[in-house]
Chain A
Amino acid sequence: MNKRKLQEIVGVNFLRLGVIFTAFFLISFLYIIFSKGGSVLSWTFFTDFPREGMTTGGIYPAIVGTLYLTILSILIALPLGVFTAIYMVHLAKPYWLMRIVRIAVNTLAGVPSIIYGLFGLTLFVRIMQLEVSLISGALTLAILALPVIINASEEAIRSVPRSFREGSLALGATERQTIMRVIVPTALPNILTGAIISIGRVAGETAPIMFTAATFYSRMLPTSINHEVMALPYHIYALMTEGSKPDQQVPIAYGTAVVLLLLVMFVSATAIIIRYKIRKSRKW
């Protein structure tokens, strides 16, 4: 066997090793979280409030809080994102403004999530006096989700064939009618896929809600957007860093992580299925 052949075998297997390591890690990671968290899962874990300083009981308010925060933030970010994408693809004038918008979106995408937290604390909690509340957290998360939604929507809108637009304009439709009744509806499934992916991302964020929305413990569910909320990711963090009974808190943290992971996976699976269905049914 000559040197080149040896190099080939060693090299290719080295690459294979990287992949195997990643797979091994992922499987053991999921196994550890699910096996340690699985033992605390029960019906009451989903439906009960935390009890006795969070050493027992369920995580119902954290589940509800995360759902509220996530849904509200996407409802705020989605229209903004879609209209920005429409601007980027179909108006795109003046050119310099489009360049600046693009730079701003890309820069926002790279801002660390803790900085969004500080921004939310300053603008929403303090200047706008919304206090630590559901709405402050949702607004902060909305801005964090915006770049992802803009990029996904832009790609979706760009993938609508040019002929759709031309056909509609040729029939005498105005630019608004063409965009709102032809292009956006055609791109909608892809836009929604992007939105769903960002739901998964937003649901797991901790740092942005630490000072804007999340509370360690709450006796009741939020009944207004001005209430502070519990949230799954923050609950995990709190269980691991506060309180005095780690023996009882760590298993609950694992259990909460299982619920959060299941939520995130369910959301991404939905996105993948929708994407698959679109690809199958596409006729152009």
Chain B
Amino acid sequence: MKVFKEILFKAVTYFAAIFSILALFGIILTLFMEGIPMFQEVSLREFLFSSAWYPTNEHQSFGALALFFGSLAVTIGALVIAVPIGLGTAVYISEIAGSRTKEIIKPMIELLAGIPSVVYGLFGMAFLAPFLIRNIGIDSGLNIFTASIVLGIMIIPIISSMSEDALSTVPRALREASYGLGATRWETITRVVIPSAKTGIIGSFVLGFGRAIGETMVVIMVAGGAAQIPSSVFDPVRPLTTSIAVEMAETVLGSIHFHSLFALAIMLFIITFITNLFTELFLFKKVK
């Protein structure tokens, strides 16, 4: 009986461990199972290099390029905002703030990280967009610019907390040596601390990129939704995630359009998979 219990315990433990692998394979399998059928009617070439996304026209076309650029535009915009602020906050917390200030800033960042994305979307759509129309004289507030601001704020906590982890692994002795040589705080930060934590910091940017490009609710609500390759930051775009989420509700199960949305998801999965791989590599280096 006792032996049986031991074996059962081990079996349950192994099953749980293997479950994550199964879940990941399940995700990959379902994406490909439902995505591949699209390529019976749409060439890979059209899908990757055409920017004409007209899934519901009489002459359907499924070019994902504009959607890809839509995702890229808002993600890069978000990084432009989140990288300086996120890294700045991390450096401030780890190098300058006293323990009292730290105790205020850290929960603040945690609070920011805990706000659901749909609430950010609501804020962008119902407040920020009209606010920008009134104040900077644009016709529509739902565009790359607004989406980048909201997405950027959303990924500040990711960048700042991971950069801070990286900064905290820099040995104290390096800082002390730098101060000992007469360097100022700014010189120590920019020439000693940040260069030594470089890999972890870049890892945090990559992670922020992955999070922003996969974000759905904010871009549905704030990016505007027009499937076009943008020519200005005030153009509306339609990121991959928007197409998947919005059109899935409208399409017929099993149609080419339905399969094409899974093909978009494959594209998104590959992008985030590569970003993940990069983060892993950076983190692994850090540990070494």
Where the two chains meet, the residues of A that have a C-beta atom closer than 8 Å to any C-beta of B are: 4-5, 7-8, 11-12, 14-19, 21-23, 25-26, 29, 32-33, 36, 79-84, 86-88, 91, 97-98, 100-101, 103-108, 110-119, 121-123, 126, 143, 146-147, 150, 174-176, 179-180, 200-201, 203-207, 210-211, 233-234, 236-237, 240-241, 250, 253-254, 257, 260-261, 264-265, 268, 272
Q: Is there an interface contact between B17 and A7, defined as CB atoms closer than 8 Å?
A: no
Give the docked Cα–Cα distance between A6 and B267 (Å). Answer: 48
Known: A18-B92, A118-B30, A175-B6. A257 touches B17 (CB 8 A): no
In the bound complex, do residue A119 and residue B26 qualify as a contact, i.e. CB atoms below 8 Å apart?
A: yes
Please tell me if the beta carbons of B116 and A204 are within 8 angstroms of each other in the complex. yes
**Residues of B close to A116: CB separation below 8 A:** 27
Assuming the contacts A118-B244, A206-B117, asked whether A101 and B85 have C-beta atoms less than 8 A apart, the reply is no
Whether the pair A22, B189 counts as a contact (CB closer than 8 A) is no
> What are the 9 closest A-B residue pairs judged by CB atoms, nearest first?
A204-B116, A112-B214, A18-B88, A83-B16, A11-B186, A87-B17, A176-B9, A122-B30, A110-B276
Decide yes or no: A113 and B214 within 8 Å by CB, A211-B249, A261-B115 being known contacts.
Answer: yes
| B176 CB-CB contact with A under 8 Å | no
How many residues of chain B have a CB within 8 Å of chain A?
85
Q: B24 contacts which of A84, A104, A112, A150 (Cβ < 8 Å)?
A: A104
Binding site for A on B (CB under 8 A): 2, 5-6, 9-10, 12-21, 23-24, 26-27, 30-31, 33-34, 84-85, 88-89, 91-93, 96-97, 105, 107-112, 114-119, 121-123, 125-127, 153, 156, 184-187, 189-190, 207, 210, 213-217, 220-221, 241, 244-245, 248-249, 253, 261-262, 265, 268-269, 272-273, 275-276, 279-280
What B residues does A126 contact at CB under 8 A? 253
Q: State in angstroms the CA–CA spacing of A174 and B7 once bound together.
A: 11
B184 touches A7 (CB 8 A): yes
| B116–A264 touching, CB < 8 Å | yes
CA distance A261 to B269 in the complex (A): 29
5 additional A-B residue pairs with CB within 8 Å, beyond A110-B210, A110-B276, A123-B26: A32-B127, A104-B21, A108-B20, A110-B214, A112-B268
Contact of B13 among A8, A91, A107 (CB under 8 A): A91
Query: What CA separation (Å) do A177 and B217 show in the bound complex?
Result: 46
A86 to B19, CA, bound (A): 14
Q: Which residues of B have CB within 8 Å of A204?
A: 114-119
**Chain A residues positioned under 8 Å from B112 (CB to CB):** 22, 26
A123 CA to B30 CA in the complex, in Å?
Answer: 7
Residues of A within 8 A of B92 (CB): 15-16, 18-19
Q: Mind listing 19 A-B residue pairs with CB under 8 Å?
A: A15-B88, A15-B91, A22-B85, A26-B111, A26-B112, A32-B123, A83-B12, A84-B13, A87-B17, A106-B276, A111-B27, A115-B269, A118-B31, A204-B117, A204-B119, A233-B217, A240-B125, A260-B119, A264-B114
| Chain A residues, Cβ within 8 Å of B126 | 36, 240, 250, 253-254
Residue of B at shortest CB range from A237? B118
Query: Contact: B85 with A91, CB < 8 Å?
Result: no
Given contacts A15-B92, A107-B276, A261-B115, contact A83 B123 (CB under 8 A): no
A253, B20: Cβ atoms under 8 Å? no
